[in-house]
Amino acid sequence: MRKFILTTIILFLGQNFANAYTCQEEKVECPIDGKKVSFCVTMSMTTFGSFKDFQQQGAIGKHYEELINTCPICHFSGYIDDFKVKLNEQEKNTIKQYLTKFNETKIGEAQQCLIAAEIKEIQKKKKNEIAFCYLTGSYLIRDNEKELEFRKELQLKAKNNLIASLANNEYEDKTVFANIYYLIAEMERRIGNFDEAVKYYDFAINDANKKEWVEAVAKEQKELAIKKDDNNKI
């Protein structure tokens, strides 16, 4: 019996460990000033669905908080791969000049995402890449009422860049269009632009190449927009 109990405990612990979030520390150098910056790179996590704006839920630990990090000296911010890119002197000087406005500023996790996005704008990166930096920032202050206006600013910027990504033909897979229409609609609804939200939900619902799940979710969220419900907690 003792052996059976011990085996059961081991199996239970193993199962829970398998479902847990794990990450591995990796140090990189800031491409602006060479300062060491630590990332905790996600190694494993278990998701149990998502919020209506695509943020994953489940045993994900600090996955979103660790996606984007900031140099503690100059405040250069980005994904770990952004820290591995060699910048030429002109790029360095342009980004350095931009970063001076954050001198003596305490940088929060959501603001790291804004800085990362704005650096990508300076570098003329793809609009969808910029959009998802802003979107990630909005995830990090989802329930923070003190950061309400900043959260809406991030969602507005995410929406604008998603619209631009469609205009720039950044997606080869036509089934993605409805997903992007839906996400634009969610950003519009969450910042209180309800008429625009309804328009983009309809784009998603009527897209001929949409995936099966899109229509049902878009119709459900469209009802909230019609009721002028800007609930950001879902």
Q: If you average pLDDT over residues 111-136, what whole number do you get? A: 98
Each residue's pLDDT tens digit, 74-86: 999 999 999 999 9
Q: How far apart are CA 48 and CA 56, in angstroms?
A: 7
Each residue's pLDDT tens digit, 35-89: 999 999 999 999 999 999 999 999 899 999 999 999 999 999 999 999 999 999 9
Helices (H), the chain: 2-19, 63-67, 80-83, 89-99, 109-122, 127-140, 148-167, 176-190, 194-206, 212-226
Model confidence at 105, pLDDT cuts 50, 70, 90, reads confident
Phi, psi of 59 (to 5 degrees): -85, 75
CA 109 to chain centroid, in Å, comes to 12
Around Cβ 201, how many Cβ atoms within 10 Å?
29
Each residue's pLDDT tens digit, 167-192: 999 999 999 999 999 999 999 999 99
Each residue's pLDDT tens digit, 135-169: 999 999 999 999 999 999 999 999 999 999 999 99
Over 80: is that where the pLDDT of 194 sits?
Answer: yes
Q: How far apart are CA 107 and CA 155, in angstroms?
A: 19
The per-residue pLDDT for 87 is 97
Q: How far apart are CA 71 and CA 63, in angstroms?
A: 18
What is the rounded (10 degree) CA torsion for 55, 143, 113, 157? 80
The per-residue pLDDT for 19 is 54
